Amino acid sequence: MTAACVTHSVPDAGAKLYAATQTMDEARHVEVYAKYCDKIAMTYPMSPWLKALIDATLKSDRHEKVMIGMNMIVESLALGAFNNMYRTTTCPLLKKLTFNVMRDESRHVSFGHIYLGPVFAKMHKDDREEMAQFAFDAVNVLASAQMQGGSLASRADPGFLMVLDNSGIDRDDFFKGMEEAEADGISQALPPGQIHALDDLMMPAIARVGLITERTRPLYEEAGIPISEDLRVLEAMEGGHPVEDSAAAE
Ligand SMILES: [Fe+2]
């Protein structure tokens, strides 16, 4: 739906054609994962914060905002989640189809950059501030959801609670354990090869197109959102390769 929204709202003809192919890619991704889930897995409801992000994107009043929401924020989340799933799954079918999906997704992130970078560079300062504010508000939806429970494992997420139930893990016991670990100073650093969608993809993508402005930089700091401008992971993934695993995958 968000890719289709870009297709009909972006004025540039070349961008419109690309967005149409992105819409087709997304339809294929939905189809292949739906088939996979029907075969072997369970389906869970969308996380409330993700729905809030998508709704804000679909309801925004300018095509540039739809593209920030879709191609920079939601795509970064997707690419991060797919990379981590690709790295951890032991199912050869899931690994293979996720590798193919990631190749599409990395192009979608690149498209956002290639199209929006020059658009923002030419934009009036006041309009660029409006874009920067939209990006901050969207990132903040995600960051507050993550900070609420220290991670995306949250009592506020009905889907996550269903995961615990289906795994035979007692909810109270789980969250008590999380609190105890945090109190003991056990860090939530990601295992090797896993990437952090916000720090490794989303913030660098937003910074790269000039949407961290003098005015919004302090907003991120006040919200406790680290501004990472390291482009290494983002650029590696735009090359179409899961991080540090390109040789093995090929
Ligand atoms: Fe995508």
The pLDDT, as a whole number, for residue 152 is 61
Q: 53 CA to middle of ligand 1, Å?
A: 15
Q: 73 CA to middle of ligand 1, Å?
A: 11
Q: 77 CA to middle of ligand 1, Å?
A: 10
Q: What is the pLDDT of residues 3-12, one digit of tens each?
A: 999 999 999 9
The pLDDT, as a whole number, for residue 249 is 41
The pLDDT, as a whole number, for residue 147 is 63
The pLDDT, as a whole number, for residue 241 is 63
Q: 135 CA to middle of ligand 1, Å?
A: 18
Q: 80 CA to middle of ligand 1, Å?
A: 12
Q: 104 CA to middle of ligand 1, Å?
A: 7
The pLDDT, as a whole number, for residue 151 is 55
Q: 29 CA to middle of ligand 1, Å?
A: 8
Intervals of the chain under pLDDT 70: 147-152, 188-189, 240-250
The pLDDT, as a whole number, for residue 150 is 45
The pLDDT, as a whole number, for residue 250 is 39
Q: What is the pLDDT of residues 63-104, one digit of tens each?
A: 999 999 998 898 888 888 898 899 899 999 999 999 999 989
The pLDDT, as a whole number, for residue 40 is 80
Determine the Cα–Cα distance for residues 53 and 2; give it in Å rounded to an integer. 11
- Entry field: residues in the chain: 250
pTM: 0.84
Q: What is the pLDDT of residues 46-59, one digit of tens each?
A: 888 889 899 999 99
Closest CA to 121 of 176, 62, 38, 64: 64
The pLDDT, as a whole number, for residue 79 is 87
